[in-house]
Structure 1
Amino acid sequence: MADLCRKTSAKTVICSKTFEPVSEESDRELATALADLDVELQCHNTGFLTEPGDIRTKENNPYRVYTPFFKAVDASGALNVDSIPTLSTHDWPALVHWPPSLAIDDLNLKPKKTLSGKDWSEGFSIFKPGEPGARGALRRFLAHGLADYEDGRDRPDKDLTSYLSPHLRFGEISPHRILIELDKAARDHLRLAAPAEKFRKELVWREFNYNILHLQPRLDAHNFRDDFNGFPWRDSDKDFRAWTRGETGYPLVDAGMKQLWQTGFMHNRVRMVCASFLVKHLLIDWRRGEQWFWDCLVDADPANNPGNWQWVAGCGADAAPYFRIFNPTTQADKFDPDGLYRRRFDKSAEEGSHHAPIVDHAFARDRALDAYRRRDRPERDKDDDSD
């Protein structure tokens, strides 16, 4: 960046402010380098409705529970579209001649086809990177998903997902733009007011996770709740491998894990079921699951990913109780009643050739509850995975 400023005689660099621990350090280093050139660095908060750490209790403490956090965000005016800040660009001079640069194709970023001629990234085509793709996803969601979002968002068999998470993650659309369009839709069609409000709450959940990341910068590595530090996790590579491959014998879990591998995405309800299965049915450390999701998800986010994993595991902020253990069979019956989602992503569901369950639900539930009671002990249970 400093070299580009020299070549273009730029006096100001304007960028979106980052709130990830690693990126914040990079921003500080960049500011120092630009200051040496007498170049001003302006960082604006374009990616969040509030700055992580700014919304605090009356006692000036950070919020650790979502509902009062949401109320405080709402009371701050951050959800009021009339208060959204704007940045004028009309008086910015355009550069006539840019310095030589690599073409994007020179970076060789496109996936290579396998020996069979298949492009492994074909399933990722549901996402179109960039701002045009982000705005297109928002338009489609407002037109086809929002109306039924409040009641149908937990149904993986219905295509009501906004698919905005990767675009938010990489700054291709701002939550302010989403708020403006939600507000317009709700004003134009009163029946959209309730689902629009529900989606606003999901946007604020993202803000909540970033506030937790601000409070605990190593959210991906450390339990937010210290009483889980001695949890007796199992070290079972065999079970972990079955989970990653979608070979657990529970069709909803297997379909979810295969959707993740095939598309780089997974429906939110299924994410919770798959995560719960790993940490409660298999008693495998949530950090292993978080890392697998981080490696596979196109929307992998340094706050949402570990924050949501810790929420499921019971060790996070405002987490679901550990003893709330999803039954993957009843979850499938409730949220994928006709099996459409399972058959779409798991051929064995369509062919009736499921793997045998790798663990019995009743046994796993009892074992998980026993582990929860023993969580203050430092020892870990190790399985012999030799095969």
Structure 2
Amino acid sequence: MAAPSIVWFRDDLRLADNPALRAALDRDEPVVGLYLLDEDSPGMRPLGGAAKWWLHHSLTSLGEDLAAKGATLVLRRGAASDVLPAFVADTGAGAVFWNRRYSRPERDIDAGLKASLREDGVTVESFAASLLFEPWTVKTGAGKPFSVYSPFWRACLSLPSPRAPLPEPREVAGFSGRVDSDDLDDWELLPTSPDWAGGLRERWTPGEAAAKRRLKEFIADDLGGYDRSRDEPASGSTSMLSPRLRWGELSPYQVWTAAVDEGNPRRFLSELGWREFAWHTLFHNPDLATVNLRREFDAFPWPRLNPTHLEAWQKGETGVAMVDAGMKELWVSGWMHNRVRMVTASFLIKNLLIDWRRGEEWFWDCLVDADAANNPFSWQWVAGSGADAAPYFRVFNPELQAEKFDPKREYIRTWAPEHVSGDAPEPIVDLKESRKAALEAYEEVKRAPR
């Protein structure tokens, strides 16, 4: 029996523009796909609830797509350093291919496996597929990582243009040997008691085919007006591609190429650049989710946690219209408009004086697009403690934000209608007084040694 090639799928749940899959096909041996749910290796962060829901359905879709091409997706669970070598032995594989990951725990896992498998005579190769510009290739003139977005993105754009996407294979020659696979339902990724995912099912269809449709729709219908209405949460003009990129149902190369072919949508491309910058920052700062990037913020005098305020924020019961609308959209749909993400985060940190890490953890659990870079990076940006951060004295006034970006209250009416009907609760804090308290606390950060 021929020694098959293993394609280890991770955050790249697609067949098109998948360099690891292409390398396996080029080897001209049978191919077996593997997805490994690893929550056991050191440093691996368990997925949040909404992310698990998406993963279940995206894996279902990928398995069906591979089967239609002639191959199988095998599911295994456990520490990758144990499970992957065992799977290589089970199949007698002669090669393993994967697309690179960039968080520190994952990089350590991959480096160890690459070295040990090669020592055993197995061909192992990895590829760039999840970022347009790999983090170590973008440096300042002094050879250091960037800490400010604009020069970072200019440096990216001075590099060779991103490659063209690879086509989807017409067929994938499957492995005929017997290989045991976990049952996806046994992983219990879907909520059952209670089943809170009704809003997710209503809004989303995970999988590569749906991702391609959404990209095509966005380019045709919304890209032209993106600059004008991207900040209006009721406009529906945002791409809604973030979970597709997070799970790799689309690659950034596909999105980049589709947008560029339509013209030169600089503003939209810069959003891809912001995603690149988040991963660049995480690559060079592995503890981004727990440690202030600007260490002087360690001196911020967070008061004792008020659990009532935190719960009101989580449930969308703060009495502040745009905050409540955003938090309810998040809970129901697993997603939130980016402008509203900034408003809700600012309210938690700067009006309620609750540590940004509490908000990051809640979004990690509730967002279908939460990933290891963008989620903590964005929270630190709002907090003022991160890269290219908003200055701490910039406090988003949620009432003014609603007036500017939801003037007809369409978004608020959709997600928090009690604020339109007059049945909303009283605000849990005074916006003016709480902003003043935040600025007073910030004075201690300014006095901290740098």
TM range (shorter): 0.7 to 0.9
Distance of 1:252 and 1:319 partners within structure 2: 22
1:347–1:377 distance in 2 versus 1, CA, 3 Å: same
- Provide the secondary structure at the position in 2 that maps to 1:25: helix
Among 298, 303, 307, the alignment partner of 1:229 is 298
- Superposed displacement of residue 32, structure 1: 4.0
**Alpha-carbon contact 2:165-2:257 (below 8 Å) kept:** no
- Per the TM alignment, residue 269 of structure 1 is displaced from its structure 2 partner at its CA by 0.2
Contact kept in structure 1, 2:146 and 2:152, CA below 8 Å: yes
Matches within 5 A, 1:116-265: 119-125=195-201, 126-186=203-263, 193=264, 196-234=265-303, 235-265=305-335
Per-residue CA distance 1:189-216 (angstroms, 9 max, x = gap): xxxx3xx221110111111111111221
Q: Which residue of 1 aligns with 2:41?
A: none
Cα distance in 1 for partners of 2:346, 2:229 equals 21
Worse-matched range after superposition: 228-237 or 257-266:
228-237
Shift of 1:274: 0.3
Instruction: Name the SS of the counterpart of 1:240 in structure 2.
Output: helix
Residue 370 of structure 1 aligns to a residue in which SS? helix
Which residue does 1:16 correspond to in 2? 99
Aligned CA distance change for structure 1 residues 88 and 279 (closer, same or farther; 3 Å): closer
| Residue in structure 2 matched with residue 189 of structure 1 by the alignment | none
Q: What's the C-alpha RMSD, in Å, of the aligned pairs?
A: 2.2
Picking from 13, 33, 43, the partner of 2:126 is: 43
1:85–1:113 CA distance, 2 compared to 1 (3 A): closer
Instruction: Output the CA distance in 2 between the equivalents of 1:24 and 1:12.
Output: 19
* Local SS of the residue matching 2:299: coil
**Distance of 1:167 and 1:291 partners within structure 2:** 21
Once residues 89 and 163 of structure 1 are traced to their aligned partners in structure 2, the CA distance between those partners, rounded to angstroms, is: 26
**Is 2:170 the counterpart of 1:95?**
no
1:348 CA displacement: 1.5
Report the Cα offset of residue 229 of structure 1. Answer: 1.0
Quick one: which of 106, 110, 131 aligns to 2:190?
110
Q: 1:244-278: CA deviations, max 9, x gaps?
A: 11111101000101111111111000000000001
What SS is found at the alignment partner of 1:71? Answer: helix
Distance 1:217 1:127 in 2: 31
Classify 1:62/1:185 alpha carbon distance in 2 versus 1 (closer, same or farther; 3 Å): same
For residue 354 of structure 1, the aligned residue among 424, 434, 438 is 424
Residues 16 and 46 of structure 1 are in contact (CA less than 8 Å); yes or no, is this contact kept in structure 2?
yes
- Does the Cα contact within 8 Å between 2:152 and 2:277 map onto a contact in 1? yes
**Amino acid in structure 1 at the alignment position of 2:138:** I
Indicate if the aligned counterparts of 2:325 and 2:412 stay in contact, CA closer than 8 A.
yes
Aligned partner of 1:135: which letter? K
Contact 2:329 2:335 (C-alpha < 8 Å) held by counterparts: yes
Go from structure 1 to structure 2 and tell me whether the alpha carbon gap of 1:363 and 1:75 turns closer, same or farther (over 3 Å shift).
same
1:43-91: per-residue Cα shift (whole Å, max 9, x none)?
Answer: 10100011113200111111111001110000012xx25x447599799
Q: Which residue of 2 aligns with 1:279?
A: 349
Question: In structure 1, what residue type is equivalent to 2:113?
Answer: L
**Aligned equivalents of 2:322 and 2:316: distance in 1?**
9
Q: CA deviation at 1:23?
A: 1.4
Could you tell me how far 1:35 is from its partner in structure 2?
2.9
Q: Secondary structure at the match of 1:15?
A: strand
Q: Deviations over 1:214-249 (max 9, x none)?
A: 221100111111221100112222211111111111
Q: Decide whether aligned partners of structure 1 residues 357 and 108 sit closer, same or farther in structure 2, where only a CA change above 3 A counts.
A: closer
Q: Name the SS of the counterpart of 1:72 in structure 2.
A: helix
Partners of 1:232 and 1:377 within 8 A in 2:
no
Offset at residue 107 of structure 1 (A): 4.0
Match of 1:75 among 148, 158, 174: 158
Moved more, 100-109 or 59-68: 100-109
2:139 is paired with a residue whose SS is coil
Q: Indicate the SS of the match to 1:53.
A: helix
Tell me, what secondary structure is at the counterpart of 2:274?
Answer: helix
Conserved? CA contact 1:229–1:376, under 8 Å? no
Asked if 1 retains the 8 angstrom alpha-carbon contact of 2:96 and 2:122, the reply is yes
1:317 to 375, 387, 393: 387
Q: Is the 8 A contact 1:231 1:376 kept in 2?
A: no
Q: TM-score, normalising length from structure 2?
A: 0.76
Give the gaps of 5 or more residues in structure 1. 187-192, 379-387
